[in-house]
A and B are shown apart, each in its own frame.
Chain A
Amino acid sequence: MLNKIWASLIILGISFAFAQDVHDEVYNTHNNGVPLQFNLLTSDTSPQQLILAANEYKLNATLKQKQKVQIHLDTKSPIKFHNIALANSQKNSLIADIVSQDSSSITLILPEIHWQKLRKVTQAAFDTAEFAVKLALGLIGIMALWLGLMQIIEKSGLINFLVKFVQPFLSWLFPNIPKNHPALASISMNMTANILGLGNAATPLGIKAMQQLQTLNHNKDTASDEMCMFLALNTSSVQLLPPVTLIALMGTQVSDLIVPIILATSCSTLVAITVAKIFAARRHNRA
């Protein structure tokens, strides 16, 4: 299933971008090669500096040699011009050809845009590949911190105490984890961190739990039932406190939402457990 979803994201994305670009080429939606007329405002002191005025916007421009004009863009310029600049690998300026000019108006032909969507898609692919590495490497510090603390917990025997405490609660969800196994402690700590909305601690603790589940796994590149159950629990986000990003976006409004969030997240967690249990039973019957 993952293979199919992964492939369809890529295939759908690229074919859709391609179809859109072909559509743009056929109907010339970017108005490539169509002359554009502006009202011209010039000052006598610096005749090289122009202001191009249209109905809803104004653009600053500089007169260049060979019948060309360089248009300077800022955040107020229409998105259309920024797209043209980006398509020509320029950031905040673009060079247009002058078709005709008199004292009060000027007619320009802007540079052409082709295959804009496909360019965007390619750029997005390269950018995120880089971003993914940054994201993973950004985990090193916090991972190291929690794994260091976990090592102390294991050596000092604190972990056995925790395992005994959570065993009755977790043995139904994870029936195949042997009694007193340290994975139970990591799982419970990961879930506590999730419940309290401590995302920074939840991920390293969850990875630690996965590592311990991996030691019980017979087939090292295939997920065990315990791993699937644990992952399903984590994707359904067991939590009592709203995530920090939501507080940042919504402000005090969030307090009204706490009850619906807890109810909704309970539903999704119940479904996650049920579906994982059903699949585990089916897999067991097949074997």
Chain B
Amino acid sequence: MQQLTAVIIPLLILLIISHGLIKHIAVYEEFVEGAREGFNIAVNIIPYLVAMLFAIAIFRASGAMDLILNALRPLANQIGFPAEVISMGIIRPLTGSGSVGVLADLISTYGEDSIIVKMAAVMFGSTETTLYVLAVYFGAIKIKRTEYALQAGLAADLAGFIAAISITYWYFS
């Protein structure tokens, strides 16, 4: 699989360009024409990304996360559930770099072999930074009313969270 990903993009580019040539397309001119859009899209995304990231940054810098975690800890311990994993579940949809930080913290505290780290890593691998994806994809086409996209995304995150914990638990025991 790792090898496949190394070859696939160059082969795809080769296919696209040579097929264009065979069909007598002015490949260079068309490429430039399409590429022109790249700048506009990136600029469209900026307001959405600023709005999203700044709200998340305020929430993280205030330490409100730690408060929520400390409030959940006794509850989590009672049902025999590692509270540390909850921090991953909360931060994963919010920020990519933040969840990398949480995972790195867990690794240095508990070690790669611990079930807590495995759960957090599976969680990290099986869901995406929902709010970032939403800001980028909808920002690019200037969608302001997101309808139920966020609900569906967060439901998927919650499902990934529960699945990561139960599947890891079942798989490694």
Contact = CB atoms under 8 A, between A and B. Distances in A.
A243 B92 CA distance: 14
Contacts, number: 339
Interface string A246-287: 100111011011011101110111111001100110010000
Contacts of A260: 118, 122, 164, 167-168, 171
Given A125-B54, A223-B146, A264-B163, A276 B152 contact: yes
Contacts of A17: 61-64
Contact-residue bracket for chain B: 35 or more
Given A16-B67, A265-B160, A228 B148 contact: yes
Interface in A114-162: 117, 120-121, 123-125, 127-129, 131-133, 135-137, 139-145, 147-153, 155-158
B125 A127 contact: no
B70 to A, nearest CB: 12
A270 B158 CA distance: 12
Interface string A187-204: 000000000111001011
Interface string B17-50: 1011011010100111111111101110110011
A127 to B, nearest CB: 7
Interface residues of A, number: 102
Contact of A246 (B25, B39, B57, B121): B121
- A-B pairs, top 3 by smallest CB distance, nearest first, are A151-B34, A144-B38, A268-B160
Interface of B: 1-2, 4-5, 8-9, 13, 15-17, 19-20, 22-23, 25, 27, 30-39, 41-43, 45-46, 49-64, 67, 93, 96, 100, 103-104, 107, 112-113, 117-118, 121-130, 133-134, 136-138, 140-153, 155-160, 162-164, 167-168, 171
